[in-house]
A and B are shown apart, each in its own frame.
Chain A
Amino acid sequence: MSILLDKDTTFIVQGITGREAVNLTKECLDYGSKVVGGVTPGRKGREVHGVPVFDTVAQAVAHHGGPIDGSVVTVPPAFTKDAVLEAIENGIELIVVVTERIPRGDVAEMVELADMRGARIIGPNCLGLIVPEVCKMGGIGGPAKDAAKAYQPGRVGVMSRSGGMTTEISSSLTQAGLGVSTAVSIGGDAIIGSAYAELMPYFEADEQTEAIVIYTEPGGRMEAQLAEWVKDNNSRLPIVAFMAGKFMDDEEMKGMSFGHAGTIVEGVEDTATEKIARLEAAGIRVVERIDEIPDVVKEKLGATA
């Protein structure tokens, strides 16, 4: 099985006529995903790689003739909140927000409405999610043939604050013969729709997933939240973590942002050192080197088998 997506998942692309969105739509279609419509206000009647374009989400839903499962939102930051609210209010329950540089207040508004309506947001500032050989929702992994090279079906769930590193890590798991159950690029901002701890229950319930790999960075407290979740829930899944950006612990890097908007050390809790200590205290193995991940996962799987 998988989490959040399956072979029947239908989704639309909001902002579908933008340059990046056109590529993303083609990539998803080539991968076998069911892109059932697109929305760009004022562009109703056009087609993008055979996908019909509408002015509103409601029109897309009416054309589809029933509820649509998801939406990939890739519109400029000033319009993102409205697009996401439109998706939620039209019954869409899984929303991938690709756009970056959205003010935190807007993200928090979308997430609060999603919570009220039972919808889930992935991102913003993310590449989406992929279930190898089943469905790809977003730019994750790139063109279908590249995605196939990095993502083969398997036993490991991946969650990453970096879109590129989601593919890098998944590729190493694929090369090692472990494969990937579902990989989620969760986004690099300070406030995101779905942090590690919020996705853990899905992986926990997914029989195919036998272990979790997370890629993490300084800034925020979602690692502490994950550590708390693991302690409170007696999870069956071994977790292997990799922490990038240790150099940011240097005194002269304080207050500087690297990589992603959310990657900034503001308080003591935010540093790489502090986060590693918290994860390890919860029994999560934090590897020093990126290339150790597959071996440590194998070791953990051997121990639980």
Chain B
Amino acid sequence: MRFYEYEARKIVELAGVPVTKYGFCTSAEEARKVAEEIGGPVVIKSQVLTGGRMKAGGVKFADTPEEAAQHAEEILKLEINGHMPRGVLVDPKAEVKQEYYAGVVWDGTAKKPLMLFSDMGGIDIEEVAEKHPEHVGKGHVSNLLPVSDFEAKQVVAATGVTGSQLNRATPVLARLARLFRENDMTLAEINPLAELTDGSFVALDAHMEMEAEAVGRQKKLLRKELGIAEDDTRETYEPSDFEKNVGAIDAADHRGVIQGKDHGFTGNLGLVIGAGGGSLTLTDAVRNQGGQPANYSEIGGNPSVAKACGLAKEVLEKDGVEKIAVMMSIVSNTRVDIVARGVIKACLELGKDPGETIAIFRIPGAWEDEGFKILEKYGVEYCDRSVSMWEAAGRAVSKIQGAPA
């Protein structure tokens, strides 16, 4: 789950990291008031879940509250990379002496959080790591032991930072590492972490992402502290009707799991496929043999006839779908006969001939003899494990390419 900057700043603030006296506004009038309270030059920043807002004109400086209101008005209407802003953040224009970077990410190989610190803040950390590796300090923290300040200190000191800067930056990085663990983040970044002319350190911008699997146990932070609504899931894109419908069919019945995606797919061959790895393998196999999938799907965990039928119907009703291919890797839990019944039922209910509509049925495994018997009755071409996933996908592609448009 991704957070807006104003939320990310609130998160670091809650963890004890100093921030400037910023205000989140959804109207030009509010922006004027916040600018008045700040009383001096301000920055107005678009609150969008996408990068590149500076380039797109989503960040502007103002010397007076009137100017702040005017900029807010414009920025609130400005679409950036297809995203409309949720609001603007009005921030005092900071007197920055030096910019630093503080971040924590997962190291999947070490299986531990990795602290990162750089005295070259304000720019992309990956770029700094590549061009100036001596300016990036790194250090793992334990998942079991408490994060100690000295661990953060070592990382900061590795970049050559010393003096009062070292002593100011150390607790910031240590607190960031603690909040990363406690709040189930997958990314926690303060960039820039600014040293102001008075010597104090503040988080001028922050970027946070929380693991989807942990959203349920982080309710206190999400709902109470940040006021994020339960249905505000922050998907990277708006789900399509197909995706919503498949989701609803899945939620209506606890037996088995079905998933469907069609974002980025525009072909004519509907895919009723599974399971996780099987679906990836089959989607590639269709595309690499010249086929054009209309969607991606996953069947798993022994769904009911109604569920398999529901998925097949949704796929068949998509614009441009001429045939469906029903394919899975060898199943041991999902029953072949149940999926067979489901997809045949879908064809019949839509007034289509299963033998014509189902280009191929390739699901070997549990209850396959029973399944194959049903398919035979309806004249559906099927195959067992002696036909590879690649070959089955190829048969489906050649059938649809030979079919009249």
Contact = CB atoms under 8 A, between A and B. Distances in A.
Contacts of B213: 77, 101-104, 261
Contacts of B143: 105, 108-109, 111-112
Interface residues of B, number: 50
Given A162-B278, A247-B287, A289-B390, A221 B211 contact: no
A222 interface: yes
B318 to A, nearest CB: 17
B111 A164 contact: no
B112 A112 contact: yes
B328 interface: yes
Given A244-B277, A290-B285, A143 B366 contact: yes
A220 interface: yes
A289 B285 contact: yes
B333 A139 contact: yes
A221 B108 contact: yes
B401 interface: no
Contacts of A208: none
A256 B263 contact: yes
Interface in B103-145: 106, 108-109, 111-113, 142-144
Interface in A259-275: 259-261, 263
A139 B333 CA distance: 9
B164 interface: no
A245 B366 CA distance: 25
A282 interface: no
A103 B287 contact: no
Contacts of B366: 142-143, 146
Contacts of A190: 106, 108
Interface string B313-337: 0000000000000001111110000
A83 to B, nearest CB: 16
A103 B184 contact: yes
B376 interface: no
A247 B292 CA distance: 11
Contacts of A215: 277
A290 B20 CA distance: 56
Interface stretch (B54-62, B171-179, B381-389): B381-389
B221 to A, nearest CB: 14
B13 interface: no
B391 interface: yes
Interface in B208-231: 211-214, 217
Contacts of A165: 277-278, 281, 329
Interface in A114-148: 139-143, 146-147
Interface string B292-321: 000010100000000000000000000000
A143 B114 CA distance: 42
Given A146-B365, A164-B329, A175-B385, A259 B280 contact: yes
B36 interface: no
A225 B111 CA distance: 13
Nearest to A150: B330
Contacts, number: 162
B388 A164 contact: no
Given A77-B213, A150-B330, A245 B280 contact: yes
Nearest to B214: A103
Contact of B264 (A140, A250, A288): A250
Nearest to B183: A105
Contact of B276 (A102, A150, A164, A221): A164
B288 interface: yes
A245 B389 CA distance: 14
Nearest to B391: A291
Contacts of B274: 164
A146 B281 contact: no
B207 interface: no
A212 B181 CA distance: 36
B68 interface: no
Contacts of A253: 263-264
Contact of B389 (A247, A252, A291): A291
A111 B214 contact: no
Most buried by B among A101, A105, A171: A105
A191 interface: yes
A255 interface: yes
Contacts of B281: 165, 242, 244, 290
Contact of A162 (B113, B211, B276): B276
A291 B289 CA distance: 14
B236 A256 contact: yes
Interface string A182-217: 000000101100010000000000000000000101
A253 B296 CA distance: 12
Interface in A87-117: 101-105, 107-109, 111-113
B268 interface: no
Contacts of A222: 108-109
Contacts of B109: 195, 221-222, 225
B261 interface: yes
A195 B109 CA distance: 8
Contacts of B217: 78, 103
A291 B284 contact: no
B278 A191 contact: no
A172 interface: yes
A161 interface: yes
Interface of A: 77-78, 101-105, 107-109, 111-113, 139-143, 146-147, 150, 160-165, 167-168, 171-172, 175, 188, 190-191, 195, 215, 217, 220-222, 225, 242, 244-248, 250, 252-253, 255-256, 258-261, 263, 288-291
10 contacts: A102-B213, A103-B184, A104-B106, A104-B184, A112-B112, A142-B332, A163-B277, A164-B328, A246-B288, A258-B296
Given A248-B280, A259-B280, 5 more contacts: A112-B112, A143-B332, A190-B106, A191-B108, A247-B284
